[in-house]
C-alpha cells in the first residue's frame, strides 16, 4: 500500500515537471530581421522579417531568439548606436 502512494506521488511530480517544461518551451518566440524587411511585418518567419534590430529588441523577452539575416544594418540616426539592449538574461519560472 505504501509503495502505491509513493508511486502516485512520484508520478504526479513527474507529470507536473513535464507540463511546466513544455509550457516554458512553447512560450519562446523566434523573430527574424532583414535590412530589406518591414517593421510592419510580424517578424515570425524569414518571409516576413522586421527591418531593424532595434524593433525586434523592443519585442523580445528573455528566452526569445532574434535571427539576423545577412545584409548591412544601418541606423538612420548617425549619432547613436544601431542597437540598444536594455534587458538580458535567462527566462525565469
- Written as one string, the DSSP assignment of the chain is -HHHHHHHHHHHHHHHHHHHHHHHHHH--EEEE-TTS-TTS--SSTTS-BS-HHHHHHH--TT-EEEE-SS----SSTTS-S-----------
Look at the block and give the residue holding cell 509503495.
3
pLDDT band at 2 (very low <50, low <70, confident <90, very high): low
Distance of CA 27 to the CA centre of its chain: 8
Q: Could you read off the pLDDT of 12-54 as tens digits, one per residue?
A: 676 666 666 555 556 799 999 999 999 999 999 999 999 998 8
- Note whether 43 and 72 are within 8 A (CB): no
Q: Could you read off the pLDDT of 63-91 as tens digits, one per residue?
A: 899 999 998 877 777 776 666 666 655 65
Predicted local distance difference test score (pLDDT) of residue 40 = 97
Amino acid at each position: 500500500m505504501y509503495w502505491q502512494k509513493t508511486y502516485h506521488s512520484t508520478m504526479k511530480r513527474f507529470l507536473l515537471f513535464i507540463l511546466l517544461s513544455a509550457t516554458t518551451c512553447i512560450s519562446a518566440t523566434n523573430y527574424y530581421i532583414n535590412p530589406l524587411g518591414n517593421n510592419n511585418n510580424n517578424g515570425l518567419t524569414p518571409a516576413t522579417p522586421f527591418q531593424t534590430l532595434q524593433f525586434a529588441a523592443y519585442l523580445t523577452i528573455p528566452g526569445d531568439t532574434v535571427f539576423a539575416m545577412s545584409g548591412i544594418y544601418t541606423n538612420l540616426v548617425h549619432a547613436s548606436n544601431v542597437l540598444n539592449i536594455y534587458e538580458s538574461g535567462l527566462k525565469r519560472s
